[in-house]
A and B are shown apart, each in its own frame.
Chain A
Amino acid sequence: DVVMTQSPLSLPVTLGQPASISCRSSQSLVHGDGNTYLNWFQQRPGQSPRRLIYKVSNRDSGVPDRFSGSGSGTDFTLKISRVEAEDVGVYYCMQGIHWPWTFGQGTKVEIK
């Protein structure tokens, strides 16, 4: 199985400051069609997961532009340019190219 490794697992951030989460995959996530299928999800406390980013860097409708995704191959990053209170929660990366699909362990973002 493809192992998705996130770091850090806990991320205390000051409001208004940037935050960055790393996700590394044990195999390339580049599909034969040329796309890279790496997704980012946000799970706020007590809520279902919500997709933020797909295909590395494409933001979902309604996702604030302070969220951005980048990376290639096996190394990916989710950045929040200025953390707001509503960003508290757990963030997961997920690969959708190799069966079984796999998630990272999750990164808990909290306000300092």
Chain B
Amino acid sequence: QVHLVESGGGMVQPGGSLRLSCAASGFTFNTYAMHWVRQAPGKGLEWVAFTRYDGSNKYYADSVKGRFTISRDNSKNTLYLQMNSLRAEDTAVYYCAKDASHSLDYWGQGTLVTVSS
């Protein structure tokens, strides 16, 4: 069965950087697009970033454009989110999710990122 496991979250100071990882299993990773979605504490869901199955096409939410970079290593079945110039408003649980043709059919358990001094 599909399994997505995020890691790399933690506490970081404003202006700092963090790299999240999402280890995928149970499906042919290199044939599916992937996404990152986040949820601030007590708030709703916010789509963050997308990468095509081969990494050739990427989209970002305006709130993270220029600061976050989505990437993938298909040889390791792993999705990444490099987050730079972090702000307090980036504090959230970050989920990776598998693309399903204009939808998200599987989600990981999430990893918490806290940006605070």
Chain B residues lying within 8 Å of A100, measured Cβ to Cβ, are 47, 59-62
A50-B95 Cα distance, complex, nearest whole Å: 12
Q: A40-75: which have CB < 8 Å to B?
A: 41, 43, 48-51, 54-55, 60
B104 at the interface (CB under 8 A from A): yes
B103 at the interface (CB under 8 A from A): yes
A51-B107 Cα distance, complex, nearest whole Å: 9
Chain B residues lying within 8 Å of A96, measured Cβ to Cβ, are 102-104
The listed residue (A31, A60, A103) touching B45 by CB distance below 8 A is A103
Q: What is the minimal beta-carbon distance from A35 to any residue of chain B, in angstroms? A: 8
Q: What is the minimal beta-carbon distance from B1 to any residue of chain A, in angstroms? A: 11
A103-B44 Cα distance, complex, nearest whole Å: 8
Nearest CB in chain A to that of B4: its residue: A48
Main secondary structure of the interface of B (DSSP, over half): strand
A3-B105 Cα distance, complex, nearest whole Å: 22
Q: What is the minimal beta-carbon distance from B7 to any residue of chain A, in angstroms? A: 15
Do residues B59 and A99 form an inter-chain contact, with CB atoms below 8 A? yes
A105-B45 Cα distance, complex, nearest whole Å: 8
Chain B residues lying within 8 Å of A41, measured Cβ to Cβ, are 45, 104
Main secondary structure of the interface of A (DSSP, over half): loop
Chain A residues lying within 8 Å of B77, measured Cβ to Cβ, are none
Do residues A54 and B95 form an inter-chain contact, with CB atoms below 8 A? no
A: contact size bracket? 20 to 34
Do residues A97 and B62 form an inter-chain contact, with CB atoms below 8 A? no
Among A41, A48, A104, chain B packs the most CB atoms within 10 A around the CB of A48
Do residues B45 and A37 form an inter-chain contact, with CB atoms below 8 A? no
Knowing A102-B47, A103-B45, the reply to whether A51 touches B104 (Cβ < 8 A) is yes
Do residues A31 and B44 form an inter-chain contact, with CB atoms below 8 A? no
Given contacts A35-B102, A43-B45, A94-B47, 20 further A-B contacts (CB under 8 A): A1-B62, A37-B103, A39-B103, A41-B104, A48-B107, A49-B104, A50-B107, A51-B100, A51-B103, A54-B105, A92-B45, A94-B103, A96-B103, A97-B102, A100-B59, A101-B35, A102-B47, A103-B44, A105-B44, A106-B44
Interface residues of B (CB under 8 A from A): 35, 37, 44-47, 50, 59-62, 95, 100, 102-105, 107-110
